[in-house]
């Protein structure tokens, strides 16, 4: 492979919301910025098809009490996620969120309707509305334009698969071209990781359709895996979750639906809503993500999203929300099948297990490695978090780059050769099996041994099996072209994260959230207010409990 070398002050790995916001902000500080995106910044990441809800504290609407806003937000699905973040991180996020709303609206992303901010979704009836209702279908195009306007270099079809440097500081990254025979080396004074969630770790709702997911098929926790290998701290990697929505058509947009979750008899399955409510929707879906699964298993399902009886205005409001969440395909399908949501209830279901965890970072988006920053769903959650901490990460990455002296180019040459050899392994293997089989083996190992029910014996057996599979990964899995090579590198990251999940799940000897240990069926109060940190020490995952600051 031909080696090509690039130098920049700030390297943004991933061109999603976080990467674009980081690049835009860093460029405003006068530093050179490169975005390396394995897809295309116009269509990549969780925000690729759009969004319609943005968590934001708007003082003119919510009042001066930020703490009240945070307490109200803790009631919904965001609350469980926020509980694992440092308090300063949460407060900074809230304080800077209105700034992002105004900024996006100024750039041309419709955050306001008729000059006013609209709120709906993700809230209990009678409680504070915390999510701005916006039209995000064009957000990726607008943010890409803003980055280019500031002189950011965007390199699409480039997958960064590992970082250069060590625990004393990041010095760049290595990547492949996903289309051409190129091996790329980036020298960078600071790096922002914004590569999104971990998908494909567990079997999908339709196992042979990996791309049928609420998030893009290409989000495989690359940033978490790279940060871990460099020595950065990760946290709560054993925690899992679920999402829910239209049965067998896994898409985001849960907060867009105004209907009531009802059983076959038409009666509500929860206690929060008895008729459609466009402002709130049925919050039971957030209180109990598995309500659909439990009813199906008990034989009392199916459970439906029942929007029957909504007004024409509310129906149009629903369709606009779905369109801006990227659900145009669903809308077209409903039309083709003659399904009118004003007259027909739609069956909903619980989706596959989703991995949690994050790269440990503070309110300045700094990780535990000097010069390495994390933003978006690598460090927080949702489009709002990606915007805020992408922006903050860009500020601080630029400041770090300004102060950092010129890099020692000879320092990482050995690392570069090792990474090049690693890539060549998949290209030179004789084709015993491929990335899909390796990914399937991993996901079923996680489902069988680290699913919703866990125990020490099951976790230990699963970890042993995974490590055996991992050894075969580098001798038996072959890539026939650049597309398959990209998938192989993603699967390698997933195997690292799978091993981390098993080790962390063994250490968490309690039941908390969807992490259920049958041998420790209680939630340990002594672990309240703590996070489980895991990091790479001489090639081995080492855990440590820490207080949430």
Question: Does one domain contain both 503 and 427?
Answer: yes
C-alpha span between 27 and 35 (Å, rounded): 11
pLDDT at 314 over 90: yes
Question: Does one domain contain both 151 and 74?
Answer: no
Residues in the chain: 549
- pLDDT given for residue 467 in this prediction: 97
Contact 53, 132 (CB under 8 A): yes
Give CB contacts under 8 A, 24+ apart, made by 205-214: 205/248, 205/250, 205/349, 205/351, 205/352, 206/248, 207/440, 207/443, 210/436, 210/439, 212/248, 212/249, 212/250, 213/250, 213/351, 213/352, 214/243, 214/245, 214/250, 214/251, 214/252, 214/351
pLDDT at 28 over 90: yes
Q: Is the pTM of this model over 0.85?
A: yes
pLDDT at 432 over 90: no
The DSSP bridge pattern shows strands 354-355 and 346-350 to be unpaired
Question: Does one domain contain both 484 and 363?
Answer: no
C-alpha span between 452 and 129 (Å, rounded): 31
Neighbours of 113 (CB within 10 A): 13
pLDDT at 341 over 90: yes
Residue 231, domain CATH: 3.50.50.60
Question: Does one domain contain both 422 and 495?
Answer: yes
The DSSP 8-state label assigned to residue 310 in this structure reads -
pLDDT at 1 over 90: no
Label residue 207 by pLDDT band (50, 70, 90): confident
pLDDT at 79 over 90: no
Contact 47, 34 (CB under 8 A): no
Q: Which of 363, 383, 411 is the last residue of a domain?
A: 411
How far apart, in Å, are the Cα atoms of 416 and each of 178, 369, 411?
A: 18, 19, 10
Question: Does one domain contain both 16 and 146?
Answer: yes
The DSSP bridge pattern shows strands 244-246 and 240-241 to be unpaired
Among 325, 14, 321, 353, which Cα is nearest to 163's? Answer: 14
- pLDDT given for residue 299 in this prediction: 95
Among 409, 419, 542, 398, which Cα is nearest to 163's? Answer: 419
- pLDDT given for residue 504 in this prediction: 98
- pLDDT given for residue 99 in this prediction: 97
Question: Does one domain contain both 394 and 422?
Answer: no
Question: Does one domain contain both 276 and 396?
Answer: no
Residue 519, domain CATH: 1.20.58.100
pLDDT at 431 over 80: no
Residue 256, domain CATH: 3.90.700
> Rounded mean pLDDT of 398-413?
87
DSSP string, 491-548: HHHHHHHHHHHHHHHHH--S-BTTBEETTB-S--GGGTTEEEEEEEETTEEEEEEEE-
Average per-residue pLDDT for the chain: 95
Q: Which of 303, 327, 350 is the last residue of a domain?
A: 350
Residue 516 phi/psi, 5-degree rounding, is -115, 115
Question: Does one domain contain both 258 and 362?
Answer: no
Q: Which of 135, 169, 193 is the last residue of a domain?
A: 135
Residue 24 phi/psi, 5-degree rounding, is -60, -50
Label residue 415 by pLDDT band (50, 70, 90): very high
- pLDDT given for residue 201 in this prediction: 95
Question: Does one domain contain both 117 and 180?
Answer: no
Question: Does one domain contain both 460 and 499?
Answer: yes
* Domain count across the chain: 4
State which residues form the domain around 69: 52-135
Question: Does one domain contain both 217 and 172?
Answer: yes
pLDDT at 411 over 80: no
Question: Does one domain contain both 216 and 75?
Answer: no
């Amino acid at each position: 492979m031909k080696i090509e070398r690039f130098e920049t002050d700030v390297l943004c790995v991933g061109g999603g919301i976080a990467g674009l916001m980081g690049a835009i902000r860093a460029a405003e500080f006068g530093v050179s910025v490169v975005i390396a995106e394995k897809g295309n910044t116009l269509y990549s990441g969780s925000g690729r098809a759009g969004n319609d809800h943005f968590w934001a504290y708007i003082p003119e609407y919510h009042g001066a009490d930020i703490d009240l806003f945070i307490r109200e937000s803790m009631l919904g699905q965001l609350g469980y996620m926020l509980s694992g973040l440092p308090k300063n991180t949460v407060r900074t996020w809230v304080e800077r969120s209105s700034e992002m709303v105004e900024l996006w609206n100024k750039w041309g992303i419709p955050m306001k309707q008729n000059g006013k901010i609209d709120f709906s979704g993700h809230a209990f009836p009678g409680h504070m509305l915390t999510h701005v209702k916006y039209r995000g279908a064009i957000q990726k195009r607008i943010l890409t334009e803003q980055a280019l306007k500031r002189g950011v270099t965007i390199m699409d079809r480039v997958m960064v698969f590992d970082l250069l440097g060590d625990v004393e500081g990041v010095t760049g990254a290595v990547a492949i071209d996903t289309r051409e025979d190129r091996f790329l080396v980036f020298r960078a004074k600071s790096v922002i990781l914004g590569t999104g969630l971990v998908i494909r770790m567990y079997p999908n709702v339709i196992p042979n359709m990996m791309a049928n997911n609420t998030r893009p098929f290409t989000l495989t926790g690359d940033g978490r895996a790279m940060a871990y290998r460099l020595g950065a701290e990760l946290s709560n990697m054993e925690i899992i979750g679920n999402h829910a929505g239209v049965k067998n058509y896994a898409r985001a947009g849960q907060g867009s639906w105004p209907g009531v979750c009802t059983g076959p008899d038409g009666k509500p399955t929860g206690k929060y809503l008895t008729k459609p409510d466009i402002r709130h929707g049925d919050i039971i879906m957030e209180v109990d993500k598995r309500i659909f699964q439990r009813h199906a298993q008990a034989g009392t399902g199916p459970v439906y999203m029942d929007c029957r009886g909504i007004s024409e205005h509310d129906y149009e409001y629903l369709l606009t929300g779905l369109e801006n969440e990227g659900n145009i395909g669903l809308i077209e399908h409903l039309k083709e099948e003659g399904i009118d949501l004003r007259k027909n209830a739609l069956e909903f279901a619980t989706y596959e297990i989703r991995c949690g965890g994050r790269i440990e970072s503070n309110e300045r988006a700094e990780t535990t490695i000097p010069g390495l920053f994390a933003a978006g769903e690598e460090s927080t959650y949702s489009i709002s978090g990606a915007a805020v901490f992408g922006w903050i990460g860009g500020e601080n990455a630029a400041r770090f780059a300004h102060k950092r002296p010129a890099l020692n180019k000879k320092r990482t040459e050995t690392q570069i050769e090792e990474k090049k050899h690693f890539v060549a392994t998949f290209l030179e293997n004789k084709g015993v099996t491929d990335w899909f089989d390796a990914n399937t083996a991993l996901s079923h190992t996680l489902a069988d041994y680290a699913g919703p029910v866990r125990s020490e014996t099951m976790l230990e057996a699963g970890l042993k099996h995974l490590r055996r599979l991992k050894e075969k990964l580098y001798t038996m899995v072959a890539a026939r072209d650049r597309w398959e090579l990209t998938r192989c590198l993603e699967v390698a990251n997933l195997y690292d994260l799978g091993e981390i999940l098993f080790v962390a799940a063994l250490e968490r000897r309690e039941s908390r959230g969807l992490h259920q240990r049958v041998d420790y069926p209680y939630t340990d109060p002594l672990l309240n207010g703590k996070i489980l940190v895991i990091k790479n020490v001489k090639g081995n995952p080492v855990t440590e409990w820490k207080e949430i600051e």
